[in-house]
Amino acid sequence: MLQFNSKTDRLLARTALAILSVGAVYGAYSLGGPLYWRFYATMVAPFSGNQLDALVLDDDPFAAIEAEKLLQHGSARATNRPAKTRPFDPEDYPLNRERVTALLQDGYIMVTWANHHYLDFAKSWVYNVKKAGVTGYLVGAMDDDMLKAMVDADINTWRMNTGITKADLGWGSGNFHKMGRAKIALIKDFLEFGVDVVITDIDTAWLRNPLPFFSRYPHADILTSSDQLRETVSDESLEKFPDAGAAFNIGIMMFRPKSLAFVEDWIAKLQDVGVWDQNAFNDLSRLGHTLSDPADGNLFKGDNGKLTMGVLPVSIFASGHTFFVQRKYQELGLQPYVAHATFQYSGTSGKRNRFREAMLFHDPPEYYDSPKGFVALKMDIPKHFLTAAKGIEGRLTVDKMHHHFDLVHWQLHRLRTALLVATLTGRVIIMPPIWCELDKYWAPLEDGNVPGARWKKPFICPADHVLDLEGRWHRPMPPDMYGPHIEFREYSFLENPRLPDAVARSRVVLDARGGADAAEAATGAEVVRAEAGASMPELRQLLAQPEAGR
């Protein structure tokens, strides 16, 4: 036992005790929080949920504090939308700075919008951006039916309440142009929040997270996609301007707050209802432009020197031509960021089918497992048709036109036979890939191509190049005049990883030529042999047998 016999000893002891007390208080203040959160993360969280525990680093007890801050930030995001126990109220989903800031990812917000007619496009868009690693997104709901659908699907959304039709907007229609003006006003709204905004049309499919790409150009005020059909760079660099001088396409753009004054001028120009939003953007942004500066990543000055701009590489921020027709990203060995369903010829149905052909559309499970079953056509195109169609530039001469139509008509003739089988059996037809030599365009072709394009022939052309998907393929016709409606699937259907194994394995080969042994050996499928000249009732009976597969 310590004894303090003198006044000096007692004074020193009291001083030491005071110092120890102050130190203990300071230590508790400094370490108490981290130690508490370490205790909470390791002892309590395993029994109450692993969200915090996943954020705490085992070798850093102070990380618990930062983890809690992250969780609080995440909770703000979660509570940014009304609890699902409350009745749906459209007024609960406004667009404001708080909601946008809570969703920012690396300082960006990625935005699209749609009405209820495009619900499946919106769900597919969200599926793709999330798969690509984008969490900072918002989908504007142009009508309250769409808003309710977005809320029910747990999709980040806000109420636009535009008063524009709930039906197909129709390219070039009055509603289409109203939607365009609403879009430009939206850009202004987001820029006034002080955030970087990525604006994309709903008919886009994202394959990679573009935010790191945009961050390579921190001084760019605007980055825009383009209708340019021939690349000026062969890597991920920005295109060279004005070598890439085709129209800027406003379906994919990145804006930073410094561009706000330009956007206000853009809105003012659109007060003239006869002005198209994309033309106005091109006219204003190209005023007094400079040339791309290779030393500055091919950025250039626009809007009389007030803007720093760049043209996104057309091979990987791709239009409907560079992606679905030329497949420029494959030619250059690059990984695309996005496909935009432009340059197509069957309206909304054509856009949807192009994404399906590229396996980029997120359909529900029942799309891949119809109770009707499926029928697919294997076409062995004679080699001389394909050889005659070879080339890059092409020539729009009489002989080349004959080559193209001979090739396509041969395939359509076989497709007609497959349609007969689908009609007899009531099955869904899986389209074959259709090979073409000549391109398709609204205006005259140049050497068989859309002017400015160049790629190898023959090529698998999108179905809308050959078939009217928006018309009779999409809309059922009177059956007493045209027969039963035939459902169809895209040519890549059987290769889609979403196809159930049970459907993929349940195959039967209908052999009408006596040459199916190789196919049977390769796939293990049963073979149903039809005699030459078999009648329709005989074919129907053959294909109605239980072993005739899915």
pLDDT per residue over 242-283, tens digit each? 999 999 999 999 999 999 999 999 999 998 888 889 999 999
37 and 98: one domain? Answer: no
Domain closes at, from 478, 499, 520: 499
Instruction: Identify the CA nearest to 368 among candidates 478, 546, 210, 493.
Output: 493
Residue 538 is predicted with a pLDDT of 80
- For the chain, the domain total comes to 3
149 and 227: one domain? Answer: yes
* pLDDT tens for each residue of the chain, 550 residues long: 444 455 555 555 565 555 555 455 444 434 443 333 333 333 333 333 333 333 333 333 333 333 333 333 333 343 356 666 778 999 999 999 999 999 999 999 999 999 999 999 999 999 999 999 999 999 999 999 999 999 999 999 999 976 554 545 454 445 554 655 778 989 999 999 999 999 999 999 999 999 999 999 999 999 999 999 999 999 999 999 999 999 999 999 999 999 999 999 999 999 888 888 999 999 999 999 999 999 999 999 999 999 999 999 999 999 999 999 999 999 999 999 999 999 999 999 999 999 999 999 999 999 999 999 999 998 899 999 999 888 765 567 787 888 999 999 999 999 998 998 898 888 999 999 999 999 999 998 888 899 999 999 999 999 999 999 988 777 778 888 888 889 999 999 999 999 999 999 888 887 776 555 544 545 667 777 777 777 878 877 777 765 555 6
62 and 104: one domain? Answer: no
Residue 545 is predicted with a pLDDT of 61
Is residue 160 assigned to a domain?
A: yes
Domain closes at, from 78, 107, 126: 78
Is residue 361 assigned to a domain?
A: no
Query: For the CA atoms of the chain, what is the radius of gyration?
Result: 31
47 and 109: one domain? Answer: no
Instruction: Assess contact for 545 and 528: CB atoms under 8 A.
Output: yes
157 and 230: one domain? Answer: yes
182 and 104: one domain? Answer: yes
Domain closes at, from 22, 45, 78: 78
73 and 104: one domain? Answer: no
20 and 139: one domain? Answer: no
Instruction: Identify the CA nearest to 250 among candidates 221, 227, 219.
Output: 227
Residue 79 is predicted with a pLDDT of 36
Per DSSP (E only), the strands in 312-395 are 317-318, 338-340, 374-376
Residue 238 is predicted with a pLDDT of 99
Three-state DSSP class for residue 173: coil
d(C-alpha 120, C-alpha 143), whole Å = 15
Domain hosting 490: range is 372-499
Q: Which bin fits 154, alpha (ψ -120 to 50), beta or left (φ > 0)?
A: left
Instruction: Assess contact for 248 and 276: CB atoms under 8 A.
Output: no
Residue 41 is predicted with a pLDDT of 33
pTM here?
0.81
Is residue 542 assigned to a domain?
A: no
| Residue pLDDT, tens place only, 1-39 | 444 455 555 555 565 555 555 455 444 434 443 333 333
d(C-alpha 370, C-alpha 363), whole Å = 13
Residue 296 is predicted with a pLDDT of 96
Is residue 288 assigned to a domain?
A: no
Is residue 299 assigned to a domain?
A: no
Residue 272 is predicted with a pLDDT of 86
105 and 66: one domain? Answer: no
142 burial type by CB count under 10 A (0-12 exposed, 13-18 middle, 19+ buried)? buried
Is residue 142 assigned to a domain?
A: yes
d(C-alpha 384, C-alpha 398), whole Å = 17
61 and 152: one domain? Answer: no
Is residue 24 assigned to a domain?
A: yes
118 and 251: one domain? Answer: yes
How many residues appear in the chain?
550
Instruction: Assess contact for 138 and 165: CB atoms under 8 A.
Output: no
477 and 453: one domain? Answer: yes
Instruction: Identify the CA nearest to 174 among candidates 184, 183, 164.
Output: 164
Instruction: Assess contact for 141 and 157: CB atoms under 8 A.
Output: yes
Is residue 284 assigned to a domain?
A: no
Residue 392 is predicted with a pLDDT of 64
